[in-house]
Structure 1
Amino acid sequence: MKQKLLLLSLSLLLLTFSKVNAQGYNTGIGFRAGGFENGLTIKHFVKSDTAIEGILGFRPGVFVVTGLYEKHATAFSEPSLKWYYGVGAHIGGIDDGRRYRRYFGDDDEIYDNGLLLGADAILGLEWQMPEIPFTLGVDLHPRLELARGPFLDIEPGFTLRFVF
């Protein structure tokens, strides 16, 4: 029943916003598939070239909330393609007894519970699909972990967003 209600709600939302403004979009909600965590993302433009993005990422035994401040610019003289870059921070946690692997540094593994806290950056390319309210994006998301480190990892990711 919940799945049918969710599907109906999403369908109505898609019909409501079936045409996206040629100048871009104000808000996008979607899914980010990353190299380490997968999760939900929401991006909102506060100016035509400036956005804030929130990412709620999960992997077994780990959750991470990330906030980013991003600048956007036209890529390759193509209005539907945008470069973006930004900075931000993350906070999260590790479940007790779960394995948390640190990549690209010492490849150490942590088996206790605890806090994740650090600084983030992002560099990506986003394509706004013509005639339908979706974007596809690819990015690199470097993170400096401070509470469990310091160590640096760089997470690649793909994003699909419904935009309105």
Structure 2
Amino acid sequence: MKILKSIAVLSISLFLAAPAMSQQLKTGDTYKTAVGVRGLGTSGLTIKHFTSGNSALEGIVGFYPNAFSATLLVERYAPAFSEPGLNWYYGIGGHIATQSDMVKGDGIYRRETSEVGFGVDGIFGIEYKIREVPIAMSLDFKPFFEVATDGDAFIALDPGLGIKVTF
């Protein structure tokens, strides 16, 4: 539980301090909207939209065997290593997930239980927007804490590798 509190405090501190410590992203390094896929941990479809020069909203729809999740994140961006198109990002958000356990009996599968989970997510990573083509690639970690309706609780680091088309 101390790890979860530390992650939450760090995420909120970085998010609130971002305006004071981040530089404006350079024109040409940014885009307004991107649509793509995220793999590794939560795998699925993603859409990101910048609401200002350094802030974006990102939605991730995750698919798993017998499960589905929807995540919304508020993210802040800052240039990384003075390299055009390379940016750090971090943020916070939440998700809702549903899972059904399938059991095989008498030669057929049937749904035995269904749970709904609600969670708090952080995110931190690095993204590279290729200047010559409308593509952005990212590598991130999206740690989350989730509580399900059946009383179970989960903590995960949730690494992700993404590729998006930008416009």
SS in 2 for 1:72: strand
Q: Which residue of 2 aligns with 1:155?
A: 158
Task: Tell me which amino acid in the other structure corresponds to 2:158.
Answer: E
Unaligned runs of 5+ in 2: 1-26, 104-111
The number of residues matched between the two structures is 131
Once residues 153 and 23 of structure 1 are traced to their aligned partners in structure 2, the CA distance between those partners, rounded to angstroms, is 31
Q: Distance in 2 between matches of 1:144 and 1:96?
A: 21
Please tell me the residue identity of whatever aligns with 1:71.
R
DSSP 3-state at the match of 2:133: coil
Q: Deviations over 1:121-145 (max 9, x none)?
A: 1001000012100000000010101
Residue of structure 1 in register with 2:65 after alignment:
60
Aligned to 2:18: none
Contact 1:67 1:88 in 2 (8 A): yes
1:105 equivalent in structure 2:
none
* Identity among equivalent pairs (%): 40
2:31 aligned partner:
25
**Inter-partner Cα distance in structure 2 for 1:133 and 1:91:** 31
Which of 80, 84, 89 is the equivalent residue of 2:89? 84
- The superposition leaves residues 51-89 of structure 1 with CA deviations (integer Å, 9 ceiling, x where unpaired) of 000000011001000000000000011121010000000
Partners of 2:38 and 2:45 within 8 A in 1: yes
